[in-house]
Amino acid sequence: MYFRAVLLKIVATMDDKSLKIYKSLFYLNLESLKALIQEESDLHLVFPIPENIAYPEPSVNLTVFDILRMKIDIWSRVKNNEDLKLLTGFLPDKIFKRALECKEYLDAKFPDFKADFEYVNHRNLMLDYYANKNYIEEEAFNDYINQGFESLDLELVNAAMERNESLVISLLKSGADPTVDIFNSDALIDLMEYLEIKESTCFVDYNSLLMADFNQYKYVDIFESLSDLYAVASTSKMLLLIDFYKVSE
């Protein structure tokens, strides 16, 4: 029993240096990152899953560039969205610039490092019911087709729910309509409403963490901060793609 307790304690935490790097990334502290990240191995972060959180893998493996990618996607949306600006006490343009400066420094220091982050590969970080499945199941999908809804529009809903960037881009380029309302007597699916509400809700949680004292967090709080970061970033990315690729009215 003692060995198992010690093992669980070891598994459910990060090593000290990685934790310091994640903290510096969370607050976009470039000077701290310069001091901490000296070798390519420092770019890899392992987040063990806390024992009270259900997850299909024992850990989440990300890189420093993945965290920065999420930060950039969030603040790229916030700096151009008046509603989101009202939810933060920070200056979005300044935060966005700091995120870019961190990335530019690390790009220059590690020019050969290949970052291949895709939101769809980490959707379990959403920690919600729809994290690992399509919103519209196959039977319902076929029913909607029979009711006259376009397959492209239905596929877009599923792709956005999965946070599948490349598929969302392809569908938008092919003419999928992100503003379609899919409804019948059993369901009401409004993709844009879902994304916008999800983004603002998750951003409030994420923003509150930025204003808190990271040093007071237990590890489970740190892992949940990663979930909050992913949730708002992946949702913001879907909305950024829709804004960029949407069909002109």
Per-residue pLDDT of the chain (249 residues; tens, 9 = 90+): 433 333 343 446 899 999 999 999 999 999 999 999 999 999 999 999 998 898 999 999 999 999 999 999 999 999 999 999 999 989 999 999 999 999 999 999 999 999 899 999 999 999 875 555 557 888 889 988 998 999 999 999 999 999 999 999 999 999 999 998 877 656 678 899 989 999 999 999 999 988 888 778 899 999 999 999 999 999 999 999 999 997 544
Q: In the structure encoding, which two tokens stand for residue 118, read together? A: 């895709």
pTM: 0.90
Q: Which residue has the tokens 């001091």?
A: 35
- Return the ∠ at Cα 74 (arms to 224 and 36), rounded to 5°: 65
- Distance between CA atoms of 11 and 5, rounded to whole angstroms? 10
- What's the CA dihedral at 192, 71, 19, 9 to 10 degrees? 10
In this structure, are residues 11 and 60 in contact, taking their beta carbons and an 8 Å threshold? no
